[in-house]
Structure formats: structure tokens, C-alpha cells
A and B are shown apart, each in its own frame.
Chain A
Amino acid sequence: AQSVTQLDSQVPVFEEAPVELRCNYSSSVSVYLFWYVQYPNQGLQLLLKYLSGSTLVKGINGFEAEFNKSQTSFHLRKPSVHISDTAEYFCAVSDGGGSEKLVFGKGTKLTVNP
């Protein structure tokens, strides 16, 4: 079964600084990878996804992620964060073999300070 590890439970950064949120998944022949964001008291919003093709994926709000098969990683990055990026970020994976089941990491709380 798939598993997802988000190495950092909390990441504090200053506004306009770059940020990287790390995500590693257990190995599989093929996978689909996702990053979701959860703002306080809200549901989950899809940030970006990797299904196939280019390993660099661009999402909403200036976020991007890079799929690295050899390192089984899918780290999320943003070159300059805003206060409004303060939220919980979840990495998720599903088997590329057709199962729609998503397995989530434990989440990373990003706090952007002025």
C-alpha cells in the first residue's frame, strides 16, 4: 500500500521568502501525485497535480512542484510567499493503475510571518 511522508509538520517563514515543503512517497510502478491546501476552517483546494509528462508542475497561486522518480519525492515550492499563503498543505498519492483512492500525508502547517 502507498504511504506518504511529509517531513516537516510546521514551517515558519517570513513574507517574500522562498519556501519548500517536502513530500516523499513509497515506491510504486506508477503514481499520481497531488498537493492540496486547506485554509483555516475550509475544505481542501487542489493546488497542483502530477499525472504524467513534464516533471515540473505549475499550480495555482504561484506554487510549483517537481516529481523526482529516483528519489520518490514531490516537493512543493514557491519563490516568494505571502501572508495569505498561511495554511495547511497536504501531499497525496494514488496508484496510477486506476485506483482512485488517495493516501494523504500528515500535512505541513506553513506560517508566513510579516
Chain B
Amino acid sequence: SAVISQKPSRDICQRGTSLTIQCQVDSQVTMMFWYRQQPGQSLTLIATANQGSEATYESGFVIDKFPISRPNLTFSTLTVSNMSPEDSSIYLCSVTIGGGRETQYFGPGTRLLVL
């Protein structure tokens, strides 16, 4: 597995503002993923981020709302733009490692509350 950290661990934000979430991995990984977990719900994939290419977004998620950067093989950011209370969720990043690309390992998550 890998050690995955996320910053911030939690935040309370005002509507209309933006928050950038960082995901750091202690080893180089090819695939990084960003998920949203709304209160009391399961995880929904937002986008897949490969280093050196544009992120691939799932249906219902757009780049203007959730811009993603992937500047190198150990780091990615997700920005939640122009936030509304409906964006209150846990945001998690995950990675696949080495030859075991089928298995995803998750970070601790960022707990976001939008007022």
C-alpha cells in the first residue's frame, strides 16, 4: 500500500468561495482518483487524474466546478469552486499502485462544511 495524506482534514467555508484540497502520496503512482461522499451516502467518483494529461470527469461533474491539477506522480489537487451548502461532503483521493492497478487505496478524506 501507500501512505496518502490530504490537506486540509476539515474546513468550514462560506458559500461562494472556493477551497483547494491537496492529496500527497509517499510513492509515485500513475492513477489518482477523486471521490465525493455526501452525508450518509456512498462514494461517487468525481474524476480520474493522470499525470501529464487532463482529468477525466464522470457524468454530473464538470471541470469549471471541480478543477483538478496533477503536476507530478505524487501530488494532486481538487478545487471545489463557488461553493454552496450542497457541496458539503467528504472528499477523498485514492491511488492505484504499481502493477496492482485494480486496487485503490484511499486517503483520510477532507470534511467540508459549506455555510
Residues of A within 8 A of B (CB): 32, 34, 36, 41-46, 49, 51, 90, 94, 96, 100-102, 104-107
Contacts and interface: CB of A to CB of B under 8 A. Distances in A.
Interface residues of B, number: 23
Given A43-B92, A104-B43, A106-B42, A94 B109 contact: no
14 contacts: A32-B102, A32-B103, A36-B106, A43-B106, A44-B43, A46-B104, A49-B102, A90-B42, A94-B102, A100-B31, A100-B48, A100-B101, A104-B42, A106-B42
Q: Which of B42, B44, B94 has the most CB of A within 10 A?
A: B42
B102 A43 contact: no
Contact of B42 (A43, A45, A105): A105
Contact of B41 (A32, A96, A100, A106): A106
A44 B44 CA distance: 13
B94 to A, nearest CB: 8
Interface of B: 1, 4, 31, 33, 41-45, 48, 92, 94, 96, 101-109, 111
Contact of A101 (B48, B92, B103, B111): B48
B104 A100 contact: yes
Given A42-B109, A43-B109, A100 B102 contact: yes
A34 B42 CA distance: 14
B115 to A, nearest CB: 20
B7 to A, nearest CB: 13
A44 B106 contact: yes
Q: Which 10 A-B pairs have the closest CB atoms?
A: A44-B106, A43-B108, A104-B42, A43-B106, A104-B43, A43-B109, A106-B42, A32-B102, A107-B42, A43-B107
Contacts of B107: 43
A107 B37 CA distance: 11
